[in-house]
Amino acid sequence: MAAKRIGCQTPTDSVVLPYSKSLGPKAVKLYNMSRQKAMPWQELLAYDMMAVNEEGLWTHSKFGWSVARRNGKSELIEMRELYGLIAGEKILHTAHRTTTSHSSWERLVALLADIGLEEDVDFKTKKQMGLETIEMIGTNGRISFRTRSSKGGLGEGFDLLVIDEAQEYTDDQSTALKYVISDSKNPQTIYCGTPPTVASSGTVFMKLRDNVLQGKTEDVGWEEWSVPHMSDVRDREIWYKTNPSLGIVLTERAIAGELEENDDPVDFNIQRYGLWLRYNQKSAITAEEWNRLKVDSKTVLKGKIYAGVKFGKSGENVCLSVAVKTTDGRVFTEGIDCRSIRDGNSWIVDYLKAMKPNAIWIDGANGQQLLANDLKEAKVKHVVLPTTKEVIAAASAFERGIYEGTICHAAQPAMVQAVTNCEKRSIGSGGGFGYRALKEGIEIALLESNMLAYYPCSTEKEKKPQKVNA
């Protein structure tokens, strides 16, 4: 009979400092006294995370790991915290959501009972939502569960800082929390999470990973299961490579079910394969950044006009913008109109026929081909239906233009609203991005039409005057 197949028990990427002694085996033994049993990959990470040097100090003062959802990554936190309580450590467990930290408290209380300890005899608990604690009566070990904020933990001292849901850990929160373990004689911070998604707001976890893998840190350990690039969502070999608990507590059927509910391959690659995208996931254009690019009516325009048309993703609206260079080398952009698709294409055709742009970029699968046909029939030339790669390039150029100040505009209220209420969304297979609205009712197609007009205008090569030698 063939052995049952299980996921890869060793990380795809890891940085672990050399060690000869670890307290991990004690933590695993303690955990295994319950009805739960550590999986091989969890034992490996527990040993690495809890390695100690000759002085008895943690080999890794910081240790992080990333593994796909539903693999049991939080159980490692429970092993570490269970050991810490018995050993008398002061622990601060933080999470992004109050419900997450409360659930962690519930599981640890249940785990203590499961290994034979009794409440009010061996330990005491405080059950107040958002202020949960567990205190050991014999060892004085204590753990507090808190939701993270920019002020959380200030004024308190701990030995172990736990960052659960680390993909949501922000710089402001890090500034507030990193000093809570400064007075400990043997401090440790552990980070547990998944790669950031488009909706994630944290940056600390990604920067930690980058620095560790690039060899820029000391006394820091890191382990992850991941893919280096976008991969086939139905490749079962990758399922087993990136999900160590597959075949143990996670099933192929469960992953197949996720595919039926998730038609976004980028999100699946992040959530199930551990893909780390190369850009900051949540990077809205601020009002300050956009407003500093405002110009007055004295700005002199020159050169040819470029147009961008974007059919909204909702299928309700279509937006038209134009761009033209200024005498000082910038690109002036302006939204012309945003109308319901029910109004047809005639208003766009009439405008473009009169303006005769040097290029017309049209994006949006729900209308671009029909508009292209209408423009062809009206004998309007220079129509471009950009590829995904070209749309990604346009988005990157637009962002760079904002940061470098090569874009200028007249601060149209509708455009200001769209630009300053956007966030990035993943598109393509190489870590590219576009934009989407942060608030309901804002038509992000207005921003993207602006982007489509800006890009060809910004990349236009000026013709040099021809020299005539006498």
Expressed as residue numbers, the domain containing 358 is 287-458
State the number of CA atoms in the 13 A half-sphere of 420 facing the CB. Answer: 15
Q: Which two tokens stand for residue 68?
A: 């796909």
Residue 281 has a pLDDT of 42
Report phi then psi at 195, rounded to 5: -60, 145
**Shortest CA distance to 69 belongs to which of 232, 208, 240, 245?**
245
C-beta separation of 435 from 422 below 8 A = yes
In a domain, 50, yes or no: yes
Give 103-136 pLDDT, tens digit per residue.
Answer: 999 999 999 999 999 999 999 999 888 889 999 9
Residue 152 has a pLDDT of 54
DSSP sequence for 229-267: S---TT-HHHHHHH-TTBTTTB-HHHHHHHHHH---HHH
- Check whether residue 197 and residue 238 sit in a common domain: yes
Lowest mean pLDDT among 88-97, 159-168, 295-304: 295-304
Domain boundary among 273, 295, 319: 273
Q: Buried (b) or exposed (e) across 286-307, using 16+ Cβ within 10 A? A: eeeebeebeeeeeeeeeebbbb
Residue 374 has a pLDDT of 95
**Shortest CA distance to 309 belongs to which of 348, 358, 355, 357?**
348
- Check whether residue 115 and residue 158 sit in a common domain: yes
What is the average per-residue pLDDT within 178-190? 94
- Which CATH number fits the domain that encloses residue 221? 3.40.50.300
- Check whether residue 241 and residue 355 sit in a common domain: no
- Check whether residue 358 and residue 421 sit in a common domain: yes
Please report, rounded to a whole number, the percentage of residues in the chain having pLDDT higher than 70: 94
Domain boundary among 241, 273, 305: 273
C-beta separation of 134 from 125 below 8 A = yes
Q: Are strands 301-311 and 317-326 parallel, antiparallel or unpaired?
A: antiparallel
Give 287-342 pLDDT, tens digit per residue.
Answer: 888 989 998 877 888 889 999 999 988 778 999 999 999 998 899 999 999 999 99
In a domain, 280, yes or no: no
Domain boundary among 273, 303, 324: 273
- φ/ψ region of 183 (left if φ > 0, alpha if ψ in -120 to 50, else beta) reads alpha
- Check whether residue 119 and residue 249 sit in a common domain: yes
C-beta separation of 147 from 94 below 8 A = yes
In a domain, 46, yes or no: yes
State the number of CA atoms in the 13 A half-sphere of 208 facing the CB. Answer: 34
Report phi then psi at 300, rounded to 5: -100, 130
- Check whether residue 140 and residue 37 sit in a common domain: yes
Lowest mean pLDDT among 125-139, 179-193, 273-287, 291-305: 273-287
In a domain, 281, yes or no: no
- Which CATH number fits the domain that encloses residue 435? 3.30.420.240
Residue 278 predicted with pLDDT over 70: no
- Check whether residue 152 and residue 266 sit in a common domain: yes
- Check whether residue 253 and residue 332 sit in a common domain: no
In a domain, 100, yes or no: yes
In a domain, 7, yes or no: no
pTM of the model: 0.64
Give 14-68 pLDDT, tens digit per residue.
Answer: 999 999 999 999 999 999 999 999 999 999 999 999 999 999 999 999 999 999 9
Residue 279 predicted with pLDDT over 50: no
- Check whether residue 260 and residue 321 sit in a common domain: no
Report phi then psi at 331, rounded to 5: -120, 120
Residue type, 315: G
Lowest mean pLDDT among 218-232, 267-281, 376-390: 267-281
- Check whether residue 253 and residue 386 sit in a common domain: no
In a domain, 399, yes or no: yes
- Check whether residue 222 and residue 359 sit in a common domain: no
Total count of domains within the chain: 2
- Check whether residue 200 and residue 269 sit in a common domain: yes
Residue 463 predicted with pLDDT over 70: no
What is the average per-residue pLDDT within 358-372? 93
In a domain, 223, yes or no: yes
Q: Which residues contact residue 362 at a Cβ distance below 8 angstroms, ignoring those fewer than 6 apart?
A: 308, 309, 310, 311, 368, 371, 372, 383, 384, 385, 386, 452
